[in-house]
Chains A and B, each alone.
Chain A
Amino acid sequence: MEVMSAVPRLLWLLPPVLLLLFPACESRDPELSPVTCGSLLKLLNTRHNVRLHSHDVKYGSGSGQQSVTGVESADDANSYWHIRGKPKRPCQRGVAIKCGQSIRITHMKTGRNLHSHHFSSPLSNNQEVSAFGENGEGDDLDVWTVQCDGVHWERDEAVRFKHLGTDVFLSVTGEQYGHPIRGQREVHGMSSPNQHNWWKAMEGVFIQPSLEPLRHDEL
């Protein structure tokens, strides 16, 4: 008798449960698609809420190369970076970036690549991260590996960037610069993965995969 009375109650729960399992409408939103080769984007450090940024300001110490910082504003075009393939191995436009794939991250406005090397960062004495090269071409220390679980770099998930030459992780720990870039945070490389090196794709121009093959030859 008790089983009989329990069943109607369970049936009442069924519609909301079904709705949870099978949300209405389309199968896949474009917002949930992976980051693709050739896309332009801003990267947000999820722990410190600043965006990866560069500009025509050089470090006063270390390598003296163009500085890379974290900024609070969301509407600065100097926070846009281009996702590209390794040197001499261009990735195909519109193809999703895989977890573990090596890429270059090129600053849109200055054409310099996100770069690291054995110099100390000015504020925290971690490893300096700079922007290096001309017109998107620098050297082998421009290469970073996308670290994430799963198959592809998803737009709504945070990932880590590990430097291929020196094995450090792109990080922010909160130190702030003074004049002339007051309030901007130091971006540096740290040797261990932790809460400071998660980054998420935010604003940008995300290329969708092309329907037809761009080339007829086999790669």
Chain B
Amino acid sequence: IPYIFGHNAISVFCICISDLFLHRRDFYKILGVTKSASIRDIKKAYRKLAMQLHPDRNPDDPKAQDKFADLGAAYEVLSDEEKRGQYDKYGEDGLKEGHHGSHNDIFSSFFGDFGFMFGGNRQQQDRNIPRGNDITFDLEVTLEEVYSGNFVEVVRNKPVAKEASGKRKCNCRQEMRTTQLGPGRFQMTQEMVCDECPNVKLVNEEKTLEVEIEQGVRDDMEYPFIGEGEPHIDGEPGDLRFRIKVLKHPVFERRGDDLYTNVTISLVEALVGFQMDIVHLDGHKVHIVRDKITKPGARMWKKGEGLPNFDNINIRGSLIITFDVEFPPTQLDEQQKDGE
């Protein structure tokens, strides 16, 4: 915990220093987004870069602190509609006074409370520190969100241990005590022994967390927020983990990175051919042309029209369309038989 405070002071110090000398930062370039980027693009860019640029990840880079501070400043301005407007018009100099949140606040809304842990797993510095309960939140997402990506904003209201007046008993444990009853005769008894600690009370605090639904995310993938679980009075808080649950879609079925859908065509279309558009998950239309006979159960493969692959979103699966042919329901009457 002292480490975290020290780190906080350093990043604030760096923001002050860079304010003095570098008033012309290109925030869009720092985040790697275009001037017309949506708020979602900006959040996505920040999250990706924050993982890469965190000083803990770059211990050998002397400029790591500065780069990380620049990133925080860029996000703080571009994610706020008003500040972004001012920055677009007047540049960094035109921004009103005061950085309202420290970079720590911004960072913790994407990753949780205890700073950065490699790979999302808690660094086991001291296995003896007791931990509060973890919370696993099943987050339902739609197939549209898996296709295009999204951010879900949540407000986390949690009890936080705060200092209170007085003392309390802590670290209570059973110990064996040996008492001498007489020469050479001993008795061993079990006794409850406690330490004395500063008194602690639980106070509810709120913060906003940003959960990213990454493109191509799969069922049961987890996004941990360190330290955002339940508190432990004698130790560290547990974690809050968002577990992705992809909802069934009425039109498309997901199998890996491929999408399957069924289309019903008329008997005439099956015989003479047809053209049609299928509306995809983000609204774009997939044009289908068929000029041969289509048998019931026939399949058409559309490469590149499936879901983006989670590990490389430039690779996409395929869209597989299965055609069903609709036969007339009852008998044809004389007129229909003649060829209407």
A202 touches B204 (CB 8 A): yes
A38 and B208 CA atoms in complex are apart in Å by: 16
Whether A214 touches B230, Cβ cut-off 8 Å, given contacts A40-B135, A80-B135, is: no
A216 touches B135 (CB 8 A): no
CB interface residues, A 187-219, toward B, < 8 Å: 202-208, 210-212, 214-217
Q: Taking chain B's interface residues, is the majority helix, strand, or loop, or is none over half, making it mixed?
A: strand
Q: Which residues of A contact B139 (CB under 8 A)?
A: 38
A206 touches B202 (CB 8 A): no
Q: Which residues of A contact B134 (CB under 8 A)?
A: 77
Q: Which residues of A contact B238 (CB under 8 A)?
A: 77
- CB-defined interface of B228-257 with A at 8 Å, one 1/0 digit per residue? 011111000010100000010010000000
Q: Which residues of A contact B240 (CB under 8 A)?
A: 205
Whether A31 touches B206, Cβ cut-off 8 Å, given contacts A74-B159, A77-B133, A202-B157, is: yes
Q: Which residues of B contact A202 (CB under 8 A)?
A: 157, 204
A180 and B238 CA atoms in complex are apart in Å by: 25
Nearest A residue (CB) for B148: A212
B250 to chain A, nearest CB (A): 7
Give the A interface residue count (CB, 8 A): 30
Q: Taking chain A's interface residues, is the majority helix, strand, or loop, or is none over half, making it mixed?
A: loop
B87 to chain A, nearest CB (A): 20
A203 and B132 CA atoms in complex are apart in Å by: 15
Is A55 located at the chain interface by the 8 A CB criterion?
A: no
A215 touches B135 (CB 8 A): no
- CB-defined interface of B183-208 with A at 8 Å, one 1/0 digit per residue? 00000000000000000001010101
Q: Which residues of A contact B137 (CB under 8 A)?
A: 40, 108, 205
Q: Which residues of B contact A205 (CB under 8 A)?
A: 135, 137, 154-157, 209, 240
A200 to chain B, nearest CB (A): 12
Is B219 located at the chain interface by the 8 A CB criterion?
A: no
- For this complex, into which size category does the number of interface residues on chain B fall? 35 or more
- CB-defined interface of A20-33 with B at 8 Å, one 1/0 digit per residue? 00000000001101
Nearest A residue (CB) for B158: A203
Is A75 located at the chain interface by the 8 A CB criterion?
A: yes
Q: Which residues of A contact B133 (CB under 8 A)?
A: 75-78
B140 touches A93 (CB 8 A): yes
Q: Which residues of A contact B206 (CB under 8 A)?
A: 30-31
Q: Which residues of B contact A77 (CB under 8 A)?
A: 132-135, 229-230, 238
Is B101 located at the chain interface by the 8 A CB criterion?
A: no
Nearest B residue (CB) for A73: B202
Q: Which residues of A contact B154 (CB under 8 A)?
A: 205-208
Nearest B residue (CB) for A40: B137
Whether A76 touches B155, Cβ cut-off 8 Å, given contacts A108-B135, A205-B137, is: no
A212 and B39 CA atoms in complex are apart in Å by: 11
CB interface residues, A 66-105, toward B, < 8 Å: 74-78, 80, 82, 90, 93-94
A40 and B238 CA atoms in complex are apart in Å by: 16
Nearest B residue (CB) for A80: B135
The 9 closest A-B pairs by CB, nearest first: A77-B133, A208-B153, A206-B155, A214-B142, A77-B230, A74-B159, A203-B157, A75-B230, A75-B231
* Interface CB pairs A-B, < 8 A, 22: A30-B155, A30-B206, A38-B139, A40-B137, A74-B202, A75-B159, A77-B132, A77-B135, A77-B229, A78-B133, A93-B152, A205-B135, A205-B157, A205-B209, A206-B154, A207-B154, A208-B152, A208-B208, A210-B150, A215-B144, A216-B279, A216-B283
